[in-house]
Structure 1
């Protein structure tokens, strides 16, 4: 009987299991399978979408056969009810617009939804998630959503994990984060990275005791970070980096939490790093670079023995020892650059066997490089530039680092021993030895077979460029900078450079005395300026069709400019300044012309300005000064919408300007120099009236300069940013000055030394951002218009050597930035204004005007003295002069205070602009220095 009972029981269990299995096989509900199929049909499968597309899971979806949606890819059903409870379509190659009425909202039993790594074509996240009241996991990251995050997501009170991160093409935005998270108190993971929050972090997050992960990378956070969030009892990951307006401090004491990854890079955190940070014994990643942290680096860092990444760069931290580092034996990345480290490099660095990247650059470290550093076999990137290191290195030691890819030793005082070199296994890609006081080429360079970037600029290397330099890196070299040294020639006068993949070549500012070397066929940036090159430009240079920047300035090149230069399809910058070119400017500029800068000044060019330059729609800078061009004003230049600088000074331009102009549009013009020509007729009022940029004071950054940018592809996975600032020569405050940089706030008009006649138009007073105005040496008559007092930014006004008459308007005394004022050699009369700047001008500013009276002239006015000082005039105290950074600030009296007189002119900077983007800030965000 017992055996029979056991048999029946087992049979019953078997039948239950059988029927449950059978039921599970057919439990998919028709309404849910229908909803899923409609969702599938609303998108296309784009398998070419790149790394985000792994496998189109919906390919397995079909209503044929059993139509059981529970067996479809990415779909999970409840085993008992057969309801769809999870949908994971991440990396499924979905492409298209998400419908506002998406059928996903009919899957009301969903507990988990993952649509990450798809492309929803910048469509908004649809409103309706409140229908999915059981949802615990929601991931819409990396899927190209845009617009405002629908507020009904905040009603999903059961949410445990919410990820809306990295929809960066048109970032999502969330108006009120505090209201949004108010009901989501059960959250364990919250990632809103790249969501535009533009608000302080809500303090309510400090009550989310279940939170284990909080990522708010690059969210526009501002205000002060709630310090209590650091002490959440379960928080393991906290990222708030790249929020530059977010301030905060670390807990000063009792900081003990399970944090494993803490990233607060590129914010405005300040104060000291507390000793209690040593209690965070679970930390594996700590990134605090790019803040305002100060004080001593606590030696308690030695307790963080689980750390694999430590990044403290770009702060004001100090330490006279690095011995605490040697306990951190699991470190793979260590960066403490741009701080105030002092002392020497510890020999015990060799304990860091796992180290892959070491960056100690830009500190006050000194002494020799310890030999034990060469025992770090896993080291791939070593940055010791801008320290005070010295001594002689043995290249064979370098090659012990078989994994080394990047070596930066720039701005030290080192040399290399001449020893036998075995570099056959070297993987070195980037070698930077600029400003190391080298007197000869390090021989080991010729043994590097994979070298991509070579920087040797700003050294004292003499003689010829040896052929062995390119022996093994002939195929690999992309970037070579040998500028600012004492090189005189190429070995054996071999000016052809067989480097087939070279993209960037700078040999400028040397002593090269040879014909122009034609660059290799793929070169994009070629700078060989400031040498002693002679002869003509060979037409074969036009075969380098990849050229974007060509700088041959300051040489002794002669002959005619090859006409084909205007036809190089990608050419962006053409600089031929200070050579001996003659003949006409090339007349062929194609409709596809990409030139942004043309500088041909100080040559012997003649003829006219080629009208085909009008095809260069991107042109920003045109300088034809100091030539022999014989033409009328090229009024058709007004069609070039981006034009900022026109310099035609010291040529043979002639004729009237005003009479030939009708519709003009010099909207973006910053600088117009037509001086030292033979223009005549009235001042070009229509031209001046069209200069709309000069009419607006928009508070631009004084330290911003007119610059040309280029991105050069170094390989399929990396690129380099290159920039060059525009340069010019301009009469400023009575002196001709060289500008190595042109500030974006410099607005100047120079029409001097021509034959303009008639009166000064009142509309010049509309150019409120004008800094310099020179109308001297013309035949102007009439009175000085009082509207010039509207030019509140004006620093230099020269109206000398004309036929102006009447009084100097008293309102001009309100120009409180005015440093230079010259109305000499006119027919002016009446009292000289008193007060503010006018009390600082000498008698030469007013000389040869018989009718003028009052200080500083010896003849007194009949009323006893000058006119009374003008009433006070409100001036923005934050504005500064953009001229002459080397001029001293003038003190003009107790009533005026300090005059703002610093400027951008005469800024002659010997140091070249840095062409290579040295590195990203963190390995986790793409470190590739």
Structure 2
């Protein structure tokens, strides 16, 4: 009997030896260790990135045991030793992700998190589809770009998918319905800021496991499927920021688990049904009027809600957060708010609320954020406002308030960090202040009719952001402005005032942390101020600056945007400008610069927008610009550049705008290159040069962006979105392309180029030969100008395929034959000119052709029919052309090489349709418009 326990013991030991336990964990496999190490070596780490928290890969090493299961961010199966989870979120990773990355060898992975890294605009590789066991995939905010690969949709085991991205680096998805078709097990789906540009696919209403659905700012359109509200497990639904998404609330049968609903900046409309009161778990966003006495958060901002704010709101005494901004709500009192003693956030801006301020804010002791902007309130600010000791953010802009604020009262708000009072009628006293404001960091007093700098600014010791643009502040910028904030200021905007210079002709600003400086559109009559060395965004355009630009501008080595346009600066452009590594936007247009364009643009050049137009630059276009692979906009027009066509621009696949007009470019275009690749090109302006030879058919054939009708996407204008990382968060600024175009020889400026604008201007050259039929393939063309050349042959009927064409100018050529009757089908055509050719036959009738005057057809002796006096005879038979008229390949141009003097601009340049006329602005308007969006600070949810 004694042997039995020994037998059992030996048996147990034997069996335990067959199975690894938690005391004898299996190490990871060598092939997976090597795969992870190769993945590590393919990237750098960037600890300065705002997303960086801890570079986990630094702990990875093959020295010693080389057991990858012990590495930071790596989790292995304890039985098999296979890597099943990798979490590298916020790990400071920087670099391009290769399509063949060794990451895809980890085929046993069930969870992968690469969020908040920087993959440098590389596409999401298709290889993610190989990781068939993935249940959790998070690639959010990691600077991937381009189209989301369909291969991810084959990961049928997915439970959570997060591909949300930054607004400045958008991903896009062509067909969301097809993409989610196989992902029926999803519990969490986040595609925020992915460009979907489509309706929400109804199939999502069948995803019964779905707990979280975030589709914020995705360009969604159409009707919201009401059945999604009724998903049995849905807790979080965010579709905010989709202004073309329409919907209404269901009256019965809400999904009872719903806890968070975000619909701001959508087009939901109608009444809020009382059935919303059945959402017993709701703690954030919409509520029924007064029957949810437990409600703590109510957020219904940015919708089309209208009518009076219900009296029952006064029953919601447990509210701590109330957001009703940007609706059409009305009411003539705010007295019901004063009993919300737990209220910390009150934001009701952008409605039709009227009447006076509450008589007292005495009970709102816990209020930290208050936004009352853009309403019809009037009168003075009650003195009790200055007793809100915990108030951090105060938004009072665009109100009818009046009176004078005593600066010392303002300084009673010891917790105040942000003050918005722009577009108001409030003034400030000049009383002496013997203290500094401890926390006020962001001051917005734009469009306040200020005529001088408020003196209290000099006492703000923590001031980070100062916005005084669009006032009437005169004279010089005083030194006392920086008395107490020189070590804190990062952002200054003094644009659109009447400033003439700096006190005592100051040539530098003692602001070592300054990153953003805008003094544009003033009356500065000085030499160029060189900004502090950390400035990234510098705009001093639209002034009266004179003199040369010192090479010390290149010591501002973090510049992302430099705009010196619309001044009288002269001399040569500093050669070092092309070597400023991060520079994305360079605008020196409309000055008096001479000499050559800087020639050195290193590998990895970051330029995206370059405008050197309307100067006196000579020489050639530097070949090193081919290193600027991200260049989208290049305008060298109105200079004295003497060069052949820069065929190497074909290497720049991102180019959308090429403007070389009014220079001394010469020779044929396609002689030096058999292949072109202008995939993204939307605007090509080569007018007023000496180009010759045949029209560049191969170049035009490569313009793939011109072949499909372009629809309005999330951004209606051609823009880029450079970001600025400040201490208080990321600011994204939109820089919108602008361009000087020609309308019947009259120069006009367009402050914004619409995304749908596609145009070709090859006028005023000496091109010869036929108009190629393939132009008819460029179906998104809205403007086509081939006037003042030596073209012969007929007008190709294929031009009738250009169904959105608004302007067509073929005047002053040697064209023969009839005007194709098919052109009458161009219903958008508002400008048409075929004058000064040798055309014959009847003028097409109907639609737009009935609106064109005789000048559109003048000097074509063979044409007949309205609006010309020549009547067509014998039905469609036309008079024969004059006996002296001959057409052959040796036919001479209608003008000689001095055509610029003879014609004086007649017919040159783009003709702009009436659809775009509202974009015409004064010639002194700025080159770009911009706005800033705070991504981290302030009211971010």
TM-score normalised by structure 2 residue count = 0.75
Counterpart for residue 514 of structure 2: 502
Counterpart for residue 915 of structure 1: 931
- Deviation readout 1:574-632 (Å, 9 max, x if unpaired): 11111111111111111121111111111111111111111111111111111111111
Counterpart for residue 237 of structure 1: 259
In structure 2, C-alpha distance between the alignment counterparts of 1:350 and 1:295, rounded to whole Å: 28
C-alpha displacement at 1:472, in angstroms?
Answer: 0.9
Correspondence for 2:779 among 756, 768, 778: 768
Whether contact under 8 Å (2:134, 2:157) holds in the other structure is no
Whether contact under 8 Å (1:661, 1:686) holds in the other structure is no
In structure 2, C-alpha distance between the alignment counterparts of 1:446 and 1:922, rounded to whole Å: 23
Counterpart for residue 900 of structure 2: none
Correspondence for 2:729 among 709, 718, 723: 718
Counterpart for residue 407 of structure 2: 395
In structure 2, C-alpha distance between the alignment counterparts of 1:94 and 1:796, rounded to whole Å: 51
Q: Are the structure 2 counterparts of residues 450 and 805 from structure 1 closer, same or farther at C-alpha, using a change threshold of 3 Å?
A: same
Counterpart for residue 251 of structure 1: 273
C-alpha displacement at 1:245, in angstroms?
Answer: 8.4
Counterpart for residue 7 of structure 1: none
Of stretches 517-526 and 342-351 in structure 1, the one that deviates more from structure 2 is 342-351
Correspondence for 2:827 among 816, 829, 835: 816
Whether contact under 8 Å (1:385, 1:408) holds in the other structure is yes
In structure 2, C-alpha distance between the alignment counterparts of 1:322 and 1:737, rounded to whole Å: 49
In structure 1, C-alpha distance between the alignment counterparts of 2:588 and 2:389, rounded to whole Å: 48
Counterpart for residue 63 of structure 2: none
Counterpart for residue 643 of structure 2: 631
Counterpart for residue 294 of structure 1: 306
Counterpart for residue 215 of structure 1: 236
- SS for the counterpart of 2:733 is strand
- SS for the counterpart of 2:481 is helix
Q: Are the structure 2 counterparts of residues 119 and 426 from structure 1 closer, same or farther at C-alpha, using a change threshold of 3 Å?
A: closer
Larger Rg: 1
Q: Are the structure 2 counterparts of residues 362 and 590 from structure 1 closer, same or farther at C-alpha, using a change threshold of 3 Å?
A: same
Counterpart for residue 283 of structure 2: 261
In structure 2, C-alpha distance between the alignment counterparts of 1:781 and 1:478, rounded to whole Å: 60
Q: Are the structure 2 counterparts of residues 769 and 345 from structure 1 closer, same or farther at C-alpha, using a change threshold of 3 Å?
A: same
Counterpart for residue 34 of structure 1: 21
- SS for the counterpart of 1:839 is helix
Counterpart for residue 857 of structure 1: 868
- Deviation readout 1:803-854 (Å, 9 max, x if unpaired): 2122211111111111111111111122111111111010111111112111
C-alpha displacement at 1:165, in angstroms?
Answer: 4.8
C-alpha displacement at 1:119, in angstroms?
Answer: 12
- SS for the counterpart of 1:535 is strand
Correspondence for 2:367 among 355, 358, 370: 355
Q: Gaps (5+ residues) in structure 1?
A: 1-28, 55-73, 75-88, 105-113, 130-139, 155-161, 185-189, 265-272, 868-881, 888-900
Q: State yes or no: 1:386 paired with 2:398.
A: yes
In structure 1, C-alpha distance between the alignment counterparts of 2:567 and 2:116, rounded to whole Å: 53
Q: State yes or no: 1:592 paired with 2:604.
A: yes
In structure 2, C-alpha distance between the alignment counterparts of 1:119 and 1:683, rounded to whole Å: 48
Counterpart for residue 577 of structure 1: 589
Correspondence for 2:808 among 791, 797, 804: 797
Whether contact under 8 Å (1:144, 1:170) holds in the other structure is no
Whether contact under 8 Å (1:294, 1:316) holds in the other structure is yes
Whether contact under 8 Å (2:158, 2:186) holds in the other structure is no
Equivalent positions of 1:43-82 (< 5 A) are none
RMSD of the TM alignment (CA)? 4.4
Equivalent positions of 1:152-301 (< 5 A) are 165=188, 181=208, 191-194=211-214, 214-217=235-238, 226-229=250-253, 232=256, 237-239=259-261, 241=263, 250-252=272-274, 255=277, 258-259=280-281, 261-264=283-286, 277-301=289-313
- SS for the counterpart of 1:637 is helix
C-alpha displacement at 1:191, in angstroms?
Answer: 4.0
Counterpart for residue 520 of structure 1: 532
Q: State yes or no: 1:305 paired with 2:326.
A: no
In structure 2, C-alpha distance between the alignment counterparts of 1:758 and 1:119, rounded to whole Å: 55
In structure 2, C-alpha distance between the alignment counterparts of 1:41 and 1:247, rounded to whole Å: 56
Q: Are the structure 2 counterparts of residues 774 and 496 from structure 1 closer, same or farther at C-alpha, using a change threshold of 3 Å?
A: same
TM-score normalised by structure 1 residue count = 0.76
Correspondence for 1:365 among 369, 373, 377: 377
Q: Are the structure 2 counterparts of residues 252 and 733 from structure 1 closer, same or farther at C-alpha, using a change threshold of 3 Å?
A: farther
Counterpart for residue 169 of structure 2: none
Equivalent positions of 1:869-884 (< 5 A) are none
Equivalent positions of 1:579-728 (< 5 A) are 579-701=591-713, 704-715=716-727, 718-728=729-739
Counterpart for residue 551 of structure 1: 563
Correspondence for 1:906 among 894, 913, 920: 920
- SS for the counterpart of 1:397 is helix
Of stretches 316-325 and 451-460 in structure 1, the one that deviates more from structure 2 is 316-325
In structure 1, C-alpha distance between the alignment counterparts of 2:700 and 2:156, rounded to whole Å: 51
- SS for the counterpart of 1:628 is coil
Whether contact under 8 Å (1:884, 1:906) holds in the other structure is no
Equivalent positions of 1:395-544 (< 5 A) are 395-544=407-556
C-alpha displacement at 1:33, in angstroms?
Answer: 8.4
Counterpart for residue 350 of structure 2: 338
- Deviation readout 1:389-416 (Å, 9 max, x if unpaired): 2222111111110000000001112221
C-alpha displacement at 1:202, in angstroms?
Answer: 8.8
Correspondence for 1:731 among 729, 742, 763: 742
In structure 2, C-alpha distance between the alignment counterparts of 1:520 and 1:676, rounded to whole Å: 41
In structure 2, C-alpha distance between the alignment counterparts of 1:152 and 1:710, rounded to whole Å: 34
Whether contact under 8 Å (1:702, 1:743) holds in the other structure is no
In structure 2, C-alpha distance between the alignment counterparts of 1:144 and 1:598, rounded to whole Å: 31
- Deviation readout 1:485-542 (Å, 9 max, x if unpaired): 0000100001211111100000000000001010100000100001011110000000
C-alpha displacement at 1:352, in angstroms?
Answer: 0.7
Q: Gaps (5+ residues) in structure 2?
A: 1-15, 41-46, 57-74, 76-84, 92-102, 118-126, 142-151, 161-184, 195-199, 879-909
Q: Are the structure 2 counterparts of residues 177 and 420 from structure 1 closer, same or farther at C-alpha, using a change threshold of 3 Å?
A: same
Q: State yes or no: 1:315 paired with 2:327.
A: yes
Q: Are the structure 2 counterparts of residues 351 and 236 from structure 1 closer, same or farther at C-alpha, using a change threshold of 3 Å?
A: farther
Q: Are the structure 2 counterparts of residues 38 and 366 from structure 1 closer, same or farther at C-alpha, using a change threshold of 3 Å?
A: farther
Q: Are the structure 2 counterparts of residues 788 and 705 from structure 1 closer, same or farther at C-alpha, using a change threshold of 3 Å?
A: same
In structure 2, C-alpha distance between the alignment counterparts of 1:797 and 1:852, rounded to whole Å: 18
- SS for the counterpart of 2:423 is coil
Greater RCO (Cα-Cα under 8 Å, separation 6 or more): 2
Of stretches 698-707 and 601-610 in structure 1, the one that deviates more from structure 2 is 698-707
Counterpart for residue 794 of structure 2: 783
Correspondence for 2:850 among 823, 839, 856: 839
Whether contact under 8 Å (1:738, 1:906) holds in the other structure is yes
C-alpha displacement at 1:442, in angstroms?
Answer: 0.3
In structure 1, C-alpha distance between the alignment counterparts of 2:341 and 2:430, rounded to whole Å: 35
Counterpart for residue 806 of structure 1: 817
In structure 1, C-alpha distance between the alignment counterparts of 2:23 and 2:214, rounded to whole Å: 30
Counterpart for residue 57 of structure 1: none
- Deviation readout 1:171-214 (Å, 9 max, x if unpaired): 9x999676664xx9xxxxx8425499999889698697xx8x93
Q: Are the structure 2 counterparts of residues 122 and 396 from structure 1 closer, same or farther at C-alpha, using a change threshold of 3 Å?
A: farther
C-alpha displacement at 1:753, in angstroms?
Answer: 1.0
